[in-house]
Amino acid sequence: MVKIGDAPEGFEGDGFFLTNLGKVIGMARANSLWPLPFATSCCGIEFMATMGTNYDLARFGSERLSFSPRQADLLMVMGTISKKMGPVLKQVYDQMAEPKWVLSVGACACSGGIFDTYSVLQGIDKVIPVDVYVPGCPPRPEQIIEGLMKIQDLARNESLRRRNTDDYKKMLESYQIETL
Ligand code: SF4
């Protein structure tokens, strides 16, 4: 059975439905997130399972993966990120257009995991802002899906003005990310 996305809050009557533009845009964004899978190691294999028929990310409107940052709005970082790779990850994030979200999948991406070594970045939030963290080594596909659903909640409820606020700009500046 095909499940249709829930309608946003509003008023309905015979032959009409009334809501506001922000809620409609939030609904559209939440149900059509285009992920860019930045997968460097084992957690990436769990992501492959998440895309398979058993778990089927298409149910959430996110089956369209993008390997071009300019055509993605959800950066999914899965795997160990070395310090050398930090600037590359940041460049990928930079090239994504607003609005964009970041899902950090697995212990390595969230905190360096078991690799407390000189060469491994101890969490991707050292170089880019993260919206949702998924714990586990590796996390199961159900956990990755839960993370995606949390991103959907953020996208659905985000104010259309949030990205223009001073707080948001300050947050990006703290990562030395240029704001347009
Ligand atoms: S969190 Fe565990 S499973 Fe995921 S990339 Fe790191 S070592 Fe591999």
90 is a domain residue: yes
Count of domains observed in the chain: 1
* Per-residue model confidence as pLDDT tens digits over 12-44: 999 999 999 999 999 999 999 999 999 999 999
Q: Is 143 in the pocket of ligand 1 (CB under 6 A)?
A: no
Q: Is 69 in the pocket of ligand 1 (CB under 6 A)?
A: no
56 is a domain residue: yes
28 is a domain residue: no
**Chain mean position to CA 150:** 9
CATH code where residue 124 lies: 3.40.50.12280
- Decide: 147 and 171 in contact? Cβ < 8 Å: no
* Per-residue model confidence as pLDDT tens digits over 38-49: 999 999 999 999
7 is a domain residue: no
Q: Is 110 in the pocket of ligand 1 (CB under 6 A)?
A: no
Q: 104 is in which domain, residue-wise? A: 34-155+165-172
133 is a domain residue: yes
Q: Whose CA is nearest to atom 6 of ligand 1?
A: 108
Instruction: Read off the pTM.
Output: 0.93
